[in-house]
Structure 1
Amino acid sequence: MVIKSDEHTHYCKYQPVSIVENNEYRLYWAIPVTTDKPLLNNIPDIVQTNKLEKKTYVIDIAVSNTDYLSKKYQEKLDNYMPLAIEIKTMWKQEKVSVIPVILGATREVPNTRQQALQQLSVPPNTYKHIQKAVVISTCSIVRKILNNL
């Protein structure tokens, strides 16, 4: 799917396709990764493969409250490391990295944020837009709950 540069879909209305591929990259979005061994966690949010460099990133995104930011990061690493090992073997990759992207529900900044952005070569401003969307969604949930009281 090619999106023209003059088209703009608001992030909350955007529906990504499950697989996008060109000569250099393959991107899976929230679909199971088939492996030789049955794995408990085989549906990360994003799997990005650079075919030329034989590098794959297993990316999982989580929104957490302040008390569990570091715990959530470690949980994601533990959940997807077996998948990363399987991908490296099956897809004959040079390197496979698990990158948990953890966002604070009320705009907390986890210590791991900068590392994740650097590994993915994401401009720092992008994180601000993502975090803004999280905070707006959190506010929306709180409003719904308060309106039902």
Structure 2
Amino acid sequence: MEVCAKYYEHISETITNIKNKDNEVTVMWDLPNITDRQINANRPDIVVHNKKNKTCQLIDISVPDDSNVQLKENEKIMKYKNLEIEISRMWNAKSCTIPVIVGALGTISKGAELRLNRIPGKSSIQEAQKITLLSTSHILRKVLN
């Protein structure tokens, strides 16, 4: 998957199919998942569906106040539980929810780095914290000027 050197210049496609000799992966960005049953929380930020390994990762990203990091993490896991079950049943794939939660000032929960390592590709918690802090300072500059 091609990305820009500068993360803030990257524009994601809604659906990206990645095929190589070992895997066939579909990445869906901000797209509702159509299910047989009515599920209100059917639009996680990113869905990574690996067809060969029969896995599906529902990735949801949030930047709450630092005091609400753990609460938001638990909320995301519970919010997408029904979608996890439905995707497992429909696509015959093992699904899991991976919340990526970084507080506005860079706070993370204890298991955040382990969860982030489950996402395929290059990802680091330090990079997520850096992006969050730069965005927080950008918002503060706009508000205070």
**Given the two structures, how large is their TM-score scaled by the length of structure 2?**
0.89
Take 1:121 and 1:48, find their aligned partners in 2: how far apart are those partners?
9
Match of 2:6 in 1: 10
List per-residue Cα deviations over 1:67-125 (Å, max 9, x = no partner).
Answer: 101100010011111111110111111x111111111211112213122123225556x
Matching residue's letter, 2:86: E
Cα–Cα, structure 1 residues 47 and 8, in superposed 2: closer, same or farther, change >3 Å? closer
Mapping of 1:1-149 within 5 angstroms? 3=2, 8-23=4-19, 24-93=24-93, 95-121=94-120, 123=122, 126-147=124-145
Take 2:56 and 2:68, find their aligned partners in 1: how far apart are those partners?
27
Matching residue's letter, 2:15: I
Instruction: Give the superposition deviation at 1:48.
Output: 0.4
Cα pair 1:77 1:98 within 8 Å, conserved = yes
Where in structure 1 are there 5+ consecutive unaligned residues? none
Which contiguous aligned blocks of 4+ residues in structure 1 show a shift greater than 4 angstroms? 121-124
Matching residue's letter, 2:17: E
Cα–Cα, structure 1 residues 83 and 112, in superposed 2: closer, same or farther, change >3 Å? same
Matching residue's letter, 2:117: Q
C-alpha RMSD of matched pairs (Å)? 1.7
Count of aligned pairs = 141
Counting aligned pairs with the same residue, the percent is: 33
Instruction: Give the superposition deviation at 1:26.
Output: 0.8
Matching residue's letter, 1:68: N
Take 2:6 and 2:96, find their aligned partners in 1: how far apart are those partners?
29
Take 2:110 and 2:42, find their aligned partners in 1: how far apart are those partners?
26
Where in structure 2 are there 5+ consecutive unaligned residues? none
